[in-house]
Structure 1
Amino acid sequence: MSAATDHDKAHGSEHGHGSKKSYLVGFALSGVLTFIPFWLVMAQPIGNPGLVAILIILFAVAQILVHTVCFLHVNTSGEGGWTLLAYVFTAVLLVITIAGSLWIMVHLNSNMMPGMMSGQASSTP
Structure 2
Amino acid sequence: MSNADDRHAQRRDTDGLERYDTAPGDEYLGDIEVGSGLRGYVIGLGLATLLTIASFWLLGTNLIWAPGIPVALVVLAIAQMGVHLVFFLHITTGPDNTNNALALAFGVLIVVLVIGGSIWIMANLDHNLMPMNANMNVNR
**TM-score normalised by structure 1 residue count:** 0.65
Structure 1 residues without counterparts, runs of 5 or longer? 6-12
Q: Structure 2 vs 1, CA of residues 95 and 110 (structure 1 numbering), >3 Å: closer, same or farther?
A: same
Which structure has the greater CA radius of gyration? Answer: 2
Q: CA deviation at 1:102?
A: 0.9
Q: CA deviation at 1:25?
A: 3.2
Q: Deviations over 1:26-65 (max 9, x none)?
A: 2332122101221233x163433xx534433332232121
- In the alignment, what sits opposite 1:10? none
Partner of 1:16, secondary structure, is coil
Matched-pair contact (CA < 8 Å) for 2:27–2:37: no
Query: Are residue 73 (structure 1) and residue 73 (structure 2) matched?
Result: no
Higher helix share: 1
Query: Are residue 124 (structure 1) and residue 103 (structure 2) matched?
Result: no
- Of 5, 9, 15 in structure 1, the residue corresponding to residue 28 of structure 2 is 15
Matched-pair contact (CA < 8 Å) for 2:28–2:37: no
Superposition RMSD in Å: 3.0
Identity of aligned residues (%): 31
| Stretches (4+) displaced over 6 A | none
Whole-Å Cα distance in 2 between the matches of residues 109 and 23 of structure 1? 46
Higher strand share: 2
- In the alignment, what sits opposite 1:59? 76
- In the alignment, what sits opposite 2:102? 85
Structure 2 residues without counterparts, runs of 5 or longer? 4-25, 31-35
The one-letter code matched in structure 2 to 1:28 is G
- In the alignment, what sits opposite 2:46? 28
**TM-score normalised by structure 2 residue count:** 0.59
Query: Are residue 39 (structure 1) and residue 57 (structure 2) matched?
Result: yes
Q: Structure 2 vs 1, CA of residues 55 and 104 (structure 1 numbering), >3 Å: closer, same or farther?
A: farther
Matched-pair contact (CA < 8 Å) for 2:86–2:92: yes
Whole-Å Cα distance in 1 between the matches of residues 77 and 41 of structure 2? 19
Partner of 1:58, secondary structure, is helix
